[in-house]
Amino acid sequence: MLSYRHAFHAGNHADVLKHLILVDIAHYLGQKSAPFWIIDTHAGAGRYALDSAHASKLAEYSDGIGRLWQTPDLPEIVADYVELVRSLNPDGKLRHYPGSPWLAKQLLRDGDRLRLFEMHSTDQRLLKECFQGAGRQVAITEGDGFAGLKALLPPPPRRALVLIDPSYETKADYAAVIKGLQEALKRFPTGTYALWYPTLAKREAFELPDRLKNLGAKSWLHAVLQVKAPAKDGFGMHGSGMFVINPPWTLEQKLHAALPQLTELLAQDAGAKYLIESQEG
């Protein structure tokens, strides 16, 4: 896990799906005057230079945010996310991409809080540089986000979004996701949990959605964006999914309005498709 660097993948199709949902949930939480927290269990570096050696090596952003950058008339939920990315690129040229922590910070009000966890030493340093001067509103912890959740939940305002997106480099990550959510739901059953996962040709990834549905949450929303057909050799990520427990009631309708067009825009071959399913409590 400690070998994983998100900089290689910043701004790709998976980030698009993950971040537009993150932005929409944060907007929803901000509609009420009561404060809320955003907790990011695997925060990464905070923001990324797309011309860096890491990001430019694979240039995955060109098939993600790059395809949306000059596209007019985007669906509302996509346009809101792209507008935030534009705020990090004020000259109109796509040079920088915001990670989840940076996006979350832009949507906080004075009384809201951001709690970040990161294990990779280099990304820890970059994350601290990203939020230098943020004061008490942003707290960065060096360590395992799953372990950190135990101390944070339930948060004082009893309103929070927990974003969970480990690297899934090992089978242990899949088990940690299930265990972490089981424990979190016992401590804070009314919180909103947004879990990202890759769609891969491996048993653990294929079985994860059903395991999440069986956690016992009364209300959940599952969205999958597949940008290409699975490779014949079984290698590589062909899409990703977001599983949201206790989602905003408005989110599903927005995704139904957005994912058909988004799938067309991000399709890499004829195997591109999307899925939206839900259960209401």
Contact predicate 132/164, CB 8 Å: no
Question: Is 40 annotated as catalytic?
Answer: no
24, 40, 123, 165: the active-site residue: 165
β 96-98/220-226 pair status = unpaired
Catalytic residues: 165
